[in-house]
């Protein structure tokens, strides 16, 4: 739990970035992600590209909360899972065994409803946990997440127990089935970019500045007349919205949602992705997600089948050990060494 704390303590990005935001590297990255499906196989597009973007989006909500709000919440996957479950429950029948549960609303009603329910849950989780600090926030959000996991596991009338919902369909709109690799990739890319730009914008808006002030010194902000609790709960709502969008996409990606999708291993995976990428910039979770997905998929090819989790663990350890701010920290170091530019934003 050391890493996020270090990241939190880092100084902030300078405001001048906002006035001149588009640089060559932004264009290159944007062109690359737009063109990616055209030279990659459908497998790489869907399972690596699509999955990394969706997981990055969910982890972005944690980066926003943790990196800028100073609140490390383990329940972001829970919020995403609530959105996924809500979609399955509200939407078209998701599985033969659960036909009696799904309410059969049109997909867009289900999506709006799912996001609304997830945001309300996020506000509730925030309301429960904002008065705690540091490790206690982690504990209380972990408790909420585990409680939700067991609720899904043991409730049959709403969540369909152990089996969950096995046949969640992404909708077909404008004649396009959005589960297909290419459409899904661009859908995920659109929402990932939207989430990224939204967070970038918000951090420069008065709300974001106040939030970062609260992160650095809540008592002083309180003395200045800011309602610390309200700001924090609002931050949970914003993060919850991002996680909810990611959660619906993740349910479409998997085509199913089961208690395993909201269990502790996934809650921690989201934290790993955020920490791996670095919490000092909204691009961090996406970098982390790419590395995470690549390792999950290909580590088994590198070493013996019984030992491949060692590789995953080893790489995570190496990244966090040599760079407290994840991959972003490496990037900053490389830049300061080779380009002789030190903007001081990240060490």
* Residue 294 makes contact with other proteins by CB under 8 A: yes
* Residue 301 makes contact with other proteins by CB under 8 A: yes
* Residue 162 makes contact with other proteins by CB under 8 A: yes
* Residue 44 makes contact with other proteins by CB under 8 A: yes
SS3 176: strand
Total residues in contact with other proteins, by rule CB under 8 A: 40
Window contacting other proteins (CB under 8 A); options: 15-23, 159-167, 236-244, 317-325: 159-167
User: 15 or 42: whose CB is closer to other proteins?
Assistant: 42
Please give the sequence-ordered ranges of beta strands (E in DSSP) within 101-202, or none if there are none: 172-173, 176-177
Task: Please select the residue that binds other proteins; options are 256, 287, 319, 346, rule is CB under 8 A.
Answer: 256
* Residue 302 makes contact with other proteins by CB under 8 A: yes
What is the phi-psi region of residue 174: left when phi exceeds 0, alpha when psi lies from -120 to 50, beta otherwise? Answer: left
Task: Please select the residue that binds other proteins; options are 161, 171, 213, 218, rule is CB under 8 A.
Answer: 161
Alpha carbons within 13 angstroms on the beta-carbon side of residue 199 total: 35
Q: CB neighbours of 14 closer than 8 A, spacing ≥ 6?
A: 343, 344, 345
Could you give the angle at the alpha carbon of 116 between the alpha carbons of 112 and 121, nearest 5°?
Answer: 150
> Least distance to other proteins from the beta carbon of 165, Å?
10
Q: How far is CA 119 from CA 152, 232, 335, in A?
A: 18, 14, 38
Spatial CA neighbour of 36 closest among 24, 52, 21: 52
Window contacting other proteins (CB under 8 A); options: 10-18, 189-197, 299-307, 338-346: 299-307
Window contacting other proteins (CB under 8 A); options: 11-19, 23-31, 118-126, 290-298: 290-298
Strands 172-173 and 176-177: antiparallel
Which residues between 188 and 247 bind other proteins (CB under 8 A)? Answer: none
> Least distance to other proteins from the beta carbon of 255, Å?
6
Q: CB neighbours of 249 closer than 8 A, spacing ≥ 6?
A: 54, 57, 187, 188, 191
Could you give the angle at the alpha carbon of 199 between the alpha carbons of 197 and 70, nearest 5°?
Answer: 160
Distance CA 338, CA 325 (A): 19
* Residue 32 makes contact with other proteins by CB under 8 A: no
Window contacting other proteins (CB under 8 A); options: 139-147, 156-164, 284-292, 314-322: 156-164
User: 219 or 301: whose CB is closer to other proteins?
Assistant: 301
Site mask, other proteins, residues 73-102, x = CB under 8 A?
Answer: -----------------------xx-----
| Phi/psi of residue 173, nearest 5 degrees | -125, 140
> Least distance to other proteins from the beta carbon of 225, Å?
47
Spatial CA neighbour of 218 closest among 231, 208, 206: 231
Spatial CA neighbour of 331 closest among 271, 284, 293, 295: 284
> Least distance to other proteins from the beta carbon of 86, Å?
18
Q: Rule CB under 8 A: which residues touch other proteins?
A: 39-44, 46-47, 51, 96-97, 150, 153-154, 156, 161-163, 166-167, 254-256, 258, 260-261, 265, 294, 296-298, 300-306, 308-309
């Amino acid at each position: 739990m050391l890493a996020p704390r270090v990241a939190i303590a880092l100084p902030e990005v300078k405001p001048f970035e906002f006035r001149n935001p588009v640089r060559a590297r932004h264009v290159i990255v944007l062109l690359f992600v737009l063109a990616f499906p055209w030279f990659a196989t459908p497998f790489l597009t869907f399972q690596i590209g699509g999955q990394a973007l969706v997981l990055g989006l969910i982890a972005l909500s944690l980066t926003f909360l943790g990196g800028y709000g100073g609140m490390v919440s383990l329940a972001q996957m829970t919020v995403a899972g609530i959105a996924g479950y809500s979609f399955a429950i509200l939407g078209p029948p998701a599985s033969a065994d659960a036909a009696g549960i799904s309410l059969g609303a049109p997909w867009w009603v289900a999506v709006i409803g799912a996001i609304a329910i997830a945001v309300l849950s996020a506000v509730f989780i925030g309301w429960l946990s904002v008065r705690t600090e540091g490790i206690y926030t982690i504990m209380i959000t972990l408790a909420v997440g585990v409680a939700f996991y067991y609720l899904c596991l043991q409730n049959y009338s709403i969540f369909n127990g152990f089996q969950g919902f096995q046949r969640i369909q992404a909708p077909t709109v404008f004649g396009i089935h959005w589960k297909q690799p290419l459409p899904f990739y661009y859908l995920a890319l659109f929402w990932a970019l939207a989430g990224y730009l939204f967070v970038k914008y918000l951090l420069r808006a008065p709300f974001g500045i106040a939030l970062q002030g609260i992160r650095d010194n809540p008592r002083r902000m309180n003395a200045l007349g800011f309602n610390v609790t309200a700001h924090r709960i609002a931050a949970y709502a914003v993060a919850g919205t991002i996680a909810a969008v990611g959660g619906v996409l993740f349910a479409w990606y998997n085509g199913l949602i089961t208690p395993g999708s909201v269990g502790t291993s996934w809650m921690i995976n989201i934290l790993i992705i955020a920490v791996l990428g670095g919490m000092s910039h909204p691009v961090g979770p996406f970098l982390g997600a790419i590395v995470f997905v690549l390792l999950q998929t290909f580590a088994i090819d590198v070493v013996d089948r019984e030992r491949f989790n060692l590789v995953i663990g080893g790489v995570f350890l190496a990244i966090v050990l040599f760079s407290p701010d994840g991959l972003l920290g490496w990037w900053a170091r490389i830049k300061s060494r080779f380009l002789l530019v030190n903007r001081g934003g990240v060490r």
